[in-house]
C-alpha cells in the first residue's frame, strides 16, 4: 500500500497491528507512512465492528483526503465475519470523493506475500481498462517495495539497466506508482516480473485480460548477474531490439563483477576459506535468486536453504541450481519453518554454516546456538536489526558487488 501514491490503508484490526506495521516500515523505508486503524476491541468482537469501520472510513477521508481507501481486515474482524463489502456498498464513493477497496487480506488467510498479491490485483481489476499499446513502454510488475529491504537501490538499478535498452518505464507496481500510472498499465508492450512469487499472478492476469506478454527471471527473482543477463536478453528478443545491445549488457556485467573484485583479497581469504558456507532463509523466489548468486557467482556452499514461505516449484528449482553448479552440494532444505525448526536442522550436524542470511530475529537464536562463531546478515523482510538508508541494491548487476561489500563489512564485526 505504501508504494501507491494517494492510497491509504485503513486497518480494521486491533491496535497491535498498527504498531507492527509502523515499526517494520520505519526500518526498511527510512520514513513513516500514514495509515489509520479502527481500533477493533473486545466490544466489537461481541457486537460486530461494522459501525466502527464505517466511522473509520469517513474519518480517514477527513484526516488524510486520499484518492483510495483500502480496508485491511485483521484477525478479529475476519474471525467474526464483519460484512466489509456491505459497509462499502452502503457508502457512496461519489459523496465520499474517494474509491473504496477491500483486498480480502484478513488474518489467518495465507501469508504476507499472498496479501501483497491480493492488494495488487484489487487495484488492477478496479482501475485498468484496454489501451493502445506503446512499443517500448514496460511495467515492473510485483515490485516488492518495503517487503524487499533493498527496494530503493533496486529501483535505481532496474531503471539503469532498462535505460541501456532504450525502454520507457511506466511504473513500478505496486512499489512506486500513482493512480494514473496504474490506469496506463495496459498500454505497455511488455510486463517485467522481477520477483516471481510476488508478480507472476498479477502478470498472468494482465496477459489474460489485456494480452500483454511478460518476462520473469529463470530462478525466482532478478538477483545475480546470470539471472539478470538472461532476463535482459529475453527482453531484447521479445521486443526485437538491436542485437548489439547484448554487447552493452556484457560490459555492464563485467563492470559490476570488476567492482566486486576490488574486495578480492578480503573476499578470497575470508569467504573462500574462513567463511565459505552459508544458510539462507527468505521467501522462495528471493531465496532462489540469492542462492544462485552465492553458489554460482561467489563460490559458496549452501548448508541450509529455508523457503519461508515456500512455493510448489522451489525445491525443483533449487536442485537445478545445484546440478548446474556441479560440485555436488546437498544442503538441508526446510519449507515454512520457524526459528526452532532452523535450530533443529543445525543440531543434526557439527558443520555449521559460517554465514547466515536471514530475516526477523532468527540470528538471536542462531548466534546463541553457535556461540557467536558465525556472521548473521538480515537480507529478507523483516530485517529488525538494520537500517537500509543508502540506495544499496540486491537485484541486477550491481547487486553482486553490493552483496560482497555487505558481507565483508558485516564480517568486520567479528574482529
CB 220 within 8 A of CB 153: no
What are the b/e assignments for 234-273, b being 16+ CB within 10 Å? bbbeebebeeebeeebeebbeebeebbeebeeebeebbee
- The pLDDT score that the predictor gives to residue 108 is 72
pLDDT per position as a tens digit, 336-357: 988 788 878 877 777 778 888 9
DSSP letters along 279-299, please? EEEE-HHHHHHHHHIIIIIS-
- The pLDDT score that the predictor gives to residue 25 is 59
* Whole-structure pTM value: 0.90
CB 393 within 8 A of CB 154: yes
- The pLDDT score that the predictor gives to residue 2 is 79
From the first residue on, what is the mean pLDDT of each consecutive set of 10 residues in the chain (415 residues)?
A: 86 76 59 76 79 89 92 83 87 90 78 88 95 96 86 93 96 91 98 96 98 96 95 96 92 85 62 74 95 92 93 96 94 90 78 82 60 74 71 92 84 63
Residue 124 cell numbers, joined: 488492477
Residue 117 cell numbers, joined: 498479491
pLDDT per position as a tens digit, 160-183: 999 999 999 999 998 889 999 999
- The pLDDT score that the predictor gives to residue 372 is 55
CB 12 within 8 A of CB 53: yes
Sorted by sequence, the CB contacts under 8 Å of residue 348 that are 6+ apart come out as 332
Burial class of residue 5 (count of CB atoms within 10 Å of its CB; 0-12, 13-18, 19+): middle
pLDDT per position as a tens digit, 263-281: 655 666 665 566 688 999 9
- The pLDDT score that the predictor gives to residue 235 is 97
Amino acid at each position: 500500500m505504501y508504494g501507491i501514491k494517494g492510497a491509504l490503508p485503513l486497518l480494521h484490526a486491533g491496535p497491535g497491528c498498527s504498531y507492527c506495521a509502523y515499526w517494520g516500515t520505519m526500518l526498511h523505508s527510512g520514513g513513516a507512512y500514514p495509515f489509520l486503524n479502527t481500533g477493533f476491541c473486545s466490544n466489537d468482537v461481541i457486537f460486530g465492528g461494522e459501525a466502527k469501520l464505517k466511522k473509520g472510513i469517513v474519518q480517514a477521508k477527513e484526516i488524510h483526503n486520499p484518492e483510495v481507501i483500502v480496508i485491511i481486515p485483521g484477525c478479529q474482524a475476519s474471525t467474526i465475519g464483519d460484512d466489509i463489502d456491505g459497509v462499502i456498498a452502503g457508502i457512496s464513493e461519489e459523496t465520499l470523493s474517494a474509491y473504496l477497496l477491500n483486498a480480502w487480506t484478513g488474518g489467518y488467510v495465507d501469508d504476507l506475500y499472498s496479501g501483497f498479491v491480493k492488494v495488487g490485483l484489487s487495484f488492477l481489476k478496479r482501475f485498468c481498462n484496454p489501451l493502445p499499446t506503446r512499443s517500448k513502454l514496460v511495467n515492473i510488475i510485483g515490485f516488492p517495495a518495503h517487503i524487499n529491504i533493498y527496494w530503493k537501490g533496486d529501483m535505481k538499478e532496474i531503471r539503469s539497466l532498462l535505460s541501456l535498452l532504450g525502454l520507457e518505464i511506466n511504473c513500478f507496481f505496486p512499489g512506486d506508482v500513482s493512480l494514473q500510472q496504474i490506469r496506463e498499465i495496459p498500454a505497455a508492450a511488455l510486463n517485467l516480473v522481477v520477483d516471481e512469487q510476488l508478480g507472476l499472478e498479477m502478470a498472468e492476469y494482465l496477459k489474460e485480460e489485456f494480452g500483454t506478454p511478460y518476462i520473469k527471471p529463470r530462478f525466482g527473482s532478478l538477483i545475480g548477474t546470470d539471472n539478470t543477463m538472461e532476463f535482459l536478453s529475453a527482453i531484447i528478443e521479445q521486443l526485437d531490439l538491436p542485437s548489439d545491445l547484448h554487447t552493452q549488457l556484457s560490459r555492464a556485467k563485467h563492470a559490476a563483477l570488476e567492482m566486486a573484485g576490488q574486495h578480492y583479497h578480503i573476499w578470497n581469504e575470508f569467504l573462500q576459506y574462513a567463511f565459505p558456507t552459508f544458510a539462507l532463509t527468505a521467501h522462495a523466489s528471493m531465496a532462489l535468486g540469492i542462492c544462485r548468486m552465492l553458489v554460482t557467482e561467489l563460490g559458496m556452499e549452501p548448508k541450509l536453504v529455508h523457503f519461508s514461505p515456500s512455493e510448489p516449484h522451489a525445491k525443483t528449482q533449487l536442485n537445478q541450481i545445484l546440478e548446474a553448479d556441479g560440485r555436488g552440494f546437498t544442503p538441508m532444505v526446510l519449507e515454512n519453518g520457524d526459528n526452532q525448526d532452523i535450530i533443529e536442522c543445525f543440531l543434526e550436524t557439527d558443520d555449521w554454516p559460517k554465514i547466515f542470511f536471514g530475516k526477523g530475529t532468527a540470528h538471536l537464536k542462531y548466534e546463541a546456538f553457535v556461540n557467536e562463531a558465525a556472521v548473521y546478515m538480515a537480507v529478507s523482510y523483516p530485517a529488525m536489526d538494520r537500517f537500509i538508508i543508502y540506495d544499496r541494491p540486491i537485484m541486477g548487476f550491481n547487486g553482486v558487488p553490493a552483496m560482497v561489500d555487505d558481507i565483508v563489512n558485516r564480517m568486520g564485526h567479528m574482529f
